[in-house]
Structure 1
Amino acid sequence: MSEQLPGGGVELSPDEIEALPARWSSCWTPSEVAQRLAGSTTPWYVAAGWALDLFHGTQTRAHGDIEIAIPAAGFPEVRRRFPGYVFDAVGSGRIWNDATPEVLAAVHQTWLRDPATGNYLLDVFREPHDGDTWICRSDPGIRLPYSGIVRHTRDGIPYLAPELVLLFKAEHVRPKDQADFEATVPHMTSAQRETLAELLARVHPGHPWIAEL
Structure 2
Amino acid sequence: MRTDIDNWSPLSVIEIKEVFAHIPSMWGIAGGWALDLHLGKKSREHSDIDVVIFREEQQVVYQSLKVDWILYKAEAGKLKPWKDGEYLESTNDIWVSKNEDSPWTFQIMLIDSENNDWIYRREKSIKKGKNEIFQWTNNGTPYIKPEVQLLYKAGSKQVREKDFKDFQTILPLLLPKEMEWLKLSLKKQFPEGHSWIGFL
Q: TM-score, normalised by structure 2?
A: 0.90
Q: How does 1:34-183 map to 2 (within 5 A)?
A: 34-82=17-65, 83-99=67-83, 101-102=85-86, 104-115=88-99, 117-170=101-154, 171=156, 172-183=158-169
Q: Match of 2:70, as an amino acid?
A: V
- In the alignment, is residue 30 of structure 1 matched against residue 13 of structure 2? yes
Q: Which runs of 5+ in 1 are unaligned?
A: 1-9
Deviation of the 1:102 alpha carbon: 4.8
Q: Match of 1:187, as an amino acid?
A: L
Q: How far apart in 2 are the matches of 1:35 and 1:102? A: 25
- In the alignment, is residue 194 of structure 1 matched against residue 176 of structure 2? no
Tell me the secondary structure at the aligned position of residue 29 of structure 2. Answer: strand
Q: How far apart in 1 are the matches of 2:110 and 2:57? A: 8
Tell me the secondary structure at the aligned position of residue 208 of structure 1. Answer: coil
Query: Which residue does 2:198 correspond to in 1?
Result: 211
Q: How far apart in 2 are the matches of 1:141 and 1:180? A: 25
Tell me the secondary structure at the aligned position of residue 27 of structure 1. Answer: coil
Question: Contact 2:59 / 2:85 at 8 angstroms: preserved in 1?
Answer: no
Aligned alpha-carbon RMSD (Å): 1.8
Question: Contact 2:93 / 2:107 at 8 angstroms: preserved in 1?
Answer: yes
More helix by share: 1
- Give identity over the alignment, percent: 28
Deviation of the 1:98 alpha carbon: 3.7
Q: Which runs of 5+ in 2 are unaligned?
A: none
Q: TM-score, normalised by structure 1?
A: 0.85
The alignment covers a number of residue pairs equal to 196
